[in-house]
Amino acid sequence: MADHTESLVMDEFMKSCRAHGLKVTPQRLAIYKMLQGSSEHPSADAVYRRIHEQYPSISFDTVNRTLLTFVDMGVIDTVESHQGVRRYDTDTSTHHHLHCVKCGKIVDFYDAGLNAIEIPASVSKGFTILGKRVIISGICPECTSKMQSQEGH
């Protein structure tokens, strides 16, 4: 059944490519497949390194350009951040982020209440809203405990 579900997902992806006038290539299939189920928010380089293990002939450029293409297609998003390399979000549904200011880790979280946030009409006037997200910045548990263990400075 896992295989069945997986092939359905890939079928959908191939349809989406054709709908956008894009060709279905082995590289695109491999990258898309790899992104399924990756919940960390990888950079182009991270995707490249992982996919390169099982597909050594693929180039970084193809991975990089494919990710940008996927963003255009709407199958992934770019993550907002306080700078650094571009990172991608494989979950295009509405959700929220915790940003660790120490290690840069980004954790997804889901909350129906936050999804329902209302923007005051006065601020959204004339602005076409496409998405809403709550960003919590702070220090993740790992970094917090690291800091406590070096507390005496």
Partner DNA sequence: GTTACTGCAAAGGCTTTGCAGTCTG
Partner DNA sequence: CAGACTGCAAAGCCTTTGCAGTAAC
Residues that bind a second copy (CB under 8 A): 78-83, 86, 98-101, 107, 109, 111, 113-114, 117-120, 123-141, 144
User: Which of a second copy, DNA, none has residue 73 at its interface (CB below 5 to 8 Å by kind)?
Assistant: none
| Encoded tokens for 109 | 């979280």
User: Which of a second copy, DNA, none has residue 27 at its interface (CB below 5 to 8 Å by kind)?
Assistant: DNA
Sign of the dihedral defined by the CA atoms of residues 118, 123, 124, 130, in that order: negative
Residues counted in the chain: 153
By C-beta, is 47 or 140 nearer to DNA? 47
Please tell me whether residue 77 adopts helix, strand or coil conformation. strand
Count Cβ atoms below 10 Å from residue 122 Cβ, excluding itself: 6
Of residues 129, 128, 38, 147, the one with CA closest to residue 90: 38
Identify whether the C-beta of residue 58 lies closer than 8 Å to the C-beta of residue 51: yes
Rounded least distance, CB 151 to DNA, Å: 23
Amino acid, single-letter form, for residue 17: C
User: Which of DNA, a second copy, none has residue 24 at its interface (CB below 5 to 8 Å by kind)?
Assistant: DNA
User: Which of a second copy, DNA, none has residue 81 at its interface (CB below 5 to 8 Å by kind)?
Assistant: a second copy
Contact footprint for DNA (CB under 7 A): 17-18, 21-28, 43-45, 57-59, 61-62, 64-66, 68, 83, 85-86
